[in-house]
Amino acid sequence: METYTETQLERILSAAPEGWPRLAILILLGTGMRVGELCALCVDDIEDEGEAAFFKIKRGKGAKFRRVPISRRLRRELVRYLNRIRPPSSAPQLLLRADGKPVRVETVTELLKRVNRRVGFRVHAHKFRHTFATEYLRQGGEIERLRRILGHTTYAMVMRYVHLDKGDLYRDFDQRSPF
């Protein structure tokens, strides 16, 4: 599976309706979490420690617990959603439809099909995970942190999500090479 280009991401975000659909795509892109983990998120799963914020993934693949950092940009979108858009509800889930019912995996799948029709190329939830992993490393992220963010136990599994090209291989090579 490849990754989304910057242009494709812009088109996807432009095609995503305001509210939970746009936030869902931003969370998938900004955290690399799986769509099932996204739909299982509750408001109480947000840890905001002032300087840093995290999502608590209580039951990731293999029933593993992990914390996933939230970028400042994503945090702003999250706060805006919680304060202005999320409908009043006693439901604990983070993402709620306009009728107050929780967003399910099938709901996100249908959203991505609608976005797909609008943009004219395949939009798949798991491709956001691949895009996150690749861009995280391109931006100088460390592989050990990426492994923990994605919730993998091995580097081999992490590398299945990373799609670097020859330009990525040469980036900063002259500064790092001993000769």
**Rounded CA gap, 169 and 174, in Å?**
11
Q: Which residues are catalytic?
A: 34, 61, 126, 129, 152, 161
Helix ranges (H only) for the chain are: 6-15, 20-31, 35-40, 72-80, 105-119, 125-138, 143-150, 155-159, 166-170, 173-176
Phi/psi at 51 (nearest 5 deg)? -75, -30
**Rounded CA gap, 110 and 93, in Å?**
19
Nearest residue to 71 via CA among 119, 116, 27: 27
